[in-house]
Amino acid sequence: MKKHTAKAKWEKGLKDGSGELQTGNGAVQAKYSYASRFGDSTSGTSPEELIGAAHAGCYSMFLSALMGNENITPDYIETTASVWLGEKDGGPLIQKIELRTEAKANGLSEEKFQQLVQQAKAGCPVSKALAAVPEITVEATLKG
């Protein structure tokens, strides 16, 4: 089993404070704030953006592995995750994640591709970890 770590530091109150996130290996460092998470500020990130990045990365890798099981090596798989933060019972809740993926893989039929897309959605470890999200959708396009 491989252990992965990340840390976050938050200073001050909820609305007037700010924080910084960092992956264990230091490859990712980002600032975040109430405004970057709940408001219109584009200065900084949010936990939801990081969840989206993790989901998109995991999904793309898992889809590649499934293609490999079919003896197909994709030229590329590019996935965008949109994470929708709303409210339920007076508190914030991730209500929906939309995955949009595009892949170029020669020798793969559209029908088989769409089957693998759904298998990847169900099987990638981050999808499984996010099972409490009420709705996760995937829209996939296969390029010749």
Tens-digit pLDDT profile for residues 92-127: 999 999 999 999 999 999 999 999 999 999 999 999
Q: Record the tokens describing residue 94, joined without a space.
A: 């991730």
Tens-digit pLDDT profile for residues 25-78: 999 999 999 999 998 878 899 999 999 999 999 999 999 999 999 999 999 999
Rounded to 5 degrees, what are φ and ψ at 47? -55, -35
**C-alpha closest to that of 94 among 135, 53, 59:** 135
pTM of the model as a whole: 0.93
Phi-psi region of 103 (alpha: psi -120 to 50; beta: other; left: phi over 0): beta
